[in-house]
Amino acid sequence: MKRIFRRSAAVVILVGVVVAVVASGAIARSSANIQVCVLLPDTKSSVRWQQFDAPDFAKALKKAKVTYSITNALNDPQKMVSQADSCLSRGAKVAIVTDIAQGTSIAIEKKFAKAGGQSIDYDRQVVGGIAKVYVSFDGKAVGAAQAKGVVNALKGKSKPVVAELWGGPTDQNAFWFKSGNDAVLNPLFKSGKLTKGPQQFVPLWLATNAQPIFEQMLLKTDNKIDGAIAANDGIAGAVIAALKAKKLKPIALSGQDATVQGVQNIISGWQTMTVYKYVPLEANAAAAAAVALLKHKKVPGVNGFRKNGSKKEPTVQIPVVSITKANKANYTRLFKDKFLKKSDVCVGEFAQFCS
């Protein structure tokens, strides 16, 4: 996917609507007023923020004819605060916040409330925050799909050992995904059908942290791991790198985000599945929520509630799709949806797996 924003602020003037899209984290230098402030967290935990969320938000908000700013904090909480302050100085009334650090995100939501504005939790819930609504993919469904994919790939094995590498421990989503993993795996661990292997959270979701963690898991089990829950495709890639370094065979392995690397690992037999989250659905839902809040109307699409401290936060939960090699219709959907380009996936050594 090559829709990557340049490392500079871009101001696009279309049909009298001033649009500021800043994926690199630099603050748009414009005196133009805006209505919606989209605050994205980083470029390293997933490629999605830069490649999909930013342009999808731009498209949805432009279509809704509201003015907006989109920035990326590059994993710097103070940068996100500065970006939020810039939005407030330009009159923004709704903040769409992807949690970067609990204290920081809460402070941003309170700043908007003090200025007469409102906030939306996007993709990651701000625990202890005061957002009016939470828009996210169904996290428990993500975790359940991962676990079911691994369990199905282990059929026929006697008491296979399953390790788990969950996401970043400071990200509430990691626990939501884990709840889906637990719902499927814990009864099987308890019955003895599966053997519980090493389990650990991966700081910041980074593959560079995941590989040494999995290497230690292999060492601890004398390389006897039959399957692994990897919280996303980056972590799955780190597991694969560790297996290849030890000249071990593929294991049952989950992922998430349907990245180019993840799909390549699936079609080549190294990864069992990935969870496809069609970002435009999530961005469109958050944009619709922002427009509703601006117009003091009911937020559309609320289909559940997520506990947030002592309260229940109205939630728009977006469905997900499990992608496997066996279900070719699902992974070719990635190309039909223009989420990935076949020319990016089916290259080099992977071309032989694409027919």
* 295-312 pLDDT, tens digit each: 999 999 999 999 998 999
Q: How far is it, in rounded angstroms, from Cα 221 to Cα 225?
A: 7
pLDDT of residue 131: 98
Dihedral angle computed from the Cα positions of residues 207, 209, 215 and 221, in that order, rounded to the nearest 10 degrees: -110
| Residue 71 backbone dihedrals phi, psi, to 5 degrees | -130, 160
Q: 10-131+279-318 and 139-277+325-353: same fold?
A: yes
Q: Which CATH code of 3.30.499.10, 3.40.50.11030, 3.30.450.40, 3.40.50.2300 fits the domain covering 10-131+279-318?
A: 3.40.50.2300
- State residue 16's pLDDT score: 37
pLDDT in the model for residue 104: 96
Beta bridge partners of 140: none
Instruction: Kindly report the CATH class assigned to 139-277+325-353.
Output: alpha beta
pLDDT under 50: residue ranges of the chain: 1-30
Name the residue type at position 38.
V
Could you tell me whether strands 161-166 and 195-201 are parallel, antiparallel, or unpaired per DSSP bridges? Answer: parallel
Q: What is the pLDDT of residues 7-30, one digit of tens each?
A: 333 333 333 334 444 444 443 444
* Alpha-helical segments (H) within 274-336: 279-294, 328-336
Instruction: Give the tokens for residue 279.
Output: 């970002």
The residues near 205 (Cβ < 8 Å, ≥ 6 apart) are 45, 46, 167, 168, 171, 174, 231, 232, 234, 235
Contacts of 268 (CB under 8 A, 6+ apart): 349, 350, 353
Residue 106 pairs in a beta bridge with none
Q: How far apart are CA 126 and CA 4, in angstroms?
A: 27
SS3 label, residue 78: helix
> pTM for this one?
0.82
Dmax (CA) for the chain in angstroms is 66
pLDDT score, position 44: 84
Predicted confidence at residue 331, as pLDDT, reads 80
Domains of the chain, by residue range, sit at 10-131+279-318, 139-277+325-353
> Residue 102: in which H helix or E strand, if any?
helix 102-114
How many Å separate Cα 173 from the centre of its chain? Answer: 9
- Which sign, positive or negative, has the C-alpha torsion 269, 273, 277, 278? positive
Residue 328, pLDDT score = 80
